[in-house]
């Protein structure tokens, strides 16, 4: 893949996820706002776009990590992967992280009142994400599997009960954007998940868990926004 100033960051990461590490290092949102060009994000972040392009080239030329080309996967397989890998991760980690946040807020909240806001933001995120997962698992993913199965069997695809898949996916995009905003705020409040000098080991562990949760969410949203959703919309157009 040749990259230049007009290359779209979401497409770059879709081609090779190793590029994500470069964008993350500059706090560039490639998942929820992946439709921007290198030139645009360089200007927004006051970066030299040539430096950004060189960093991307260096990372992408390293072929040693066996990067998975998710774009080559059938869309039903990718939906299954997202559900089993990332949806399961969210459902597992929310009940693990919540009591840690409650504990450090109780112990350190007087000295670090930002912890109360972080706790509230994570609670809001947990509630909304669980509803979001249900929407995908009960509506979108079954429809994706149905589309693939009907095409495989030579059956005619009928329009979904919820209407256009593009309109339904637009709702999911909005929900993804909301999570992106929340976790940017959590990152800002925690100074990039940095443990303060007076923070205990539990404080450190909690922030590490939050950082890991955000990283997984970024990869999750990237797979949907930049690969699964566009492919599902195109599949429906071709087969209706």
Task: Judge whether 52 lies within some domain.
Answer: yes
Q: Going by C-beta distance under 8 Å and a sequence separation of 6 or more, which residues neighbour residue 107? A: 200, 202
Residues 189 and 209 in one domain: yes
Residues 150 and 55 in one domain: no
| Mean pLDDT computed over 32-57 | 91
Number of domain units in the chain: 2
pLDDT, tens digit (0-9, with 9 covering 90-100), for 48-102: 999 999 999 888 876 544 468 899 999 999 999 999 999 999 999 999 999 999 9
Task: Judge whether 88 lies within some domain.
Answer: yes
**CA-derived radius of gyration, the chain:** 20
Task: Judge whether 18 lies within some domain.
Answer: yes
pLDDT, tens digit (0-9, with 9 covering 90-100), for 3-32: 899 999 988 888 887 888 899 889 898 888
Residues 193 and 77 in one domain: yes
Which residue, among 3, 23, 31, 22, has the nearest Cα to 226 in the 3D structure?
Answer: 31
Which residue, among 171, 167, 157, has the nearest Cα to 233 in the 3D structure?
Answer: 167
CA 205 vs. chain centroid, Å, equals: 22
Residues 133 and 184 in one domain: yes
User: Residue 61 is inside which H or E element, if any?
Assistant: helix 49-61
Task: Judge whether 56 lies within some domain.
Answer: yes
Residues 89 and 193 in one domain: yes
Residues 169 and 122 in one domain: yes
Residues 107 and 194 in one domain: yes
Task: Judge whether 1 lies within some domain.
Answer: no
Residues 200 and 170 in one domain: yes
Residues 98 and 207 in one domain: yes
Task: Judge whether 67 lies within some domain.
Answer: no
Residues 93 and 47 in one domain: no
Task: Judge whether 229 lies within some domain.
Answer: yes
Give this prediction's pTM: 0.82
| Mean pLDDT computed over 112-118 | 97
| Mean pLDDT computed over 162-184 | 94
Which residue, among 77, 217, 84, has the nearest Cα to 144 in the 3D structure?
Answer: 77
Q: Is the pLDDT of residue 209 over 60?
A: yes
Residues 166 and 54 in one domain: no
Domain encompassing residue 118? 72-239
Residues 45 and 127 in one domain: no
Task: Judge whether 3 lies within some domain.
Answer: no
Looking at 17, 38, 61, the residue that finishes a domain is 61
């Amino acid at each position: 893949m040749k990259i230049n100033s007009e290359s779209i960051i979401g497409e770059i990461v879709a081609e090779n996820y190793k590029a994500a590490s470069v964008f993350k290092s500059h706090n560039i949102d490639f998942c929820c706002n992946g439709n921007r060009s290198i030139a645009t994000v360089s200007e927004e972040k006051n970066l030299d776009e040539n430096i950004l392009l060189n960093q991307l080239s260096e990372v992408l030329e390293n072929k040693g990590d066996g990067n998975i080309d998710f774009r080559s996967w059938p869309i039903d397989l990718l939906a299954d992967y997202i559900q089993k890998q990332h949806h399961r991760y969210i459902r597992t980690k929310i009940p693990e992280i919540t009591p840690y946040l409650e504990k450090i807020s109780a112990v350190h909240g007087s000295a670090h009142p930002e912890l109360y806001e972080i706790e509230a933001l994570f609670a809001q995120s947990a509630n909304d994400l669980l509803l979001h997962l249900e929407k995908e698992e009960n509506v979108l993913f079954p429809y994706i599997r149905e589309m693939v199965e009907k095409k495989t069997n030579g059956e005619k695809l009928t329009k979904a009960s919820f209407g256009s898949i593009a309109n339904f996916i637009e709702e999911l995009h909005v929900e993804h954007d909301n999570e992106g905003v929340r976790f940017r705020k959590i990152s800002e409040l925690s100074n990039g998940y940095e443990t303060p000098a007076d923070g205990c080991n539990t404080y450190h562990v909690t922030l590490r868990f939050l950082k890991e949760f955000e990283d997984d969410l970024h990869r999750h949203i990237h797979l949907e926004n930049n690969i699964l959703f566009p492919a599902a919309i195109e599949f429906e157009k071709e087969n209706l």
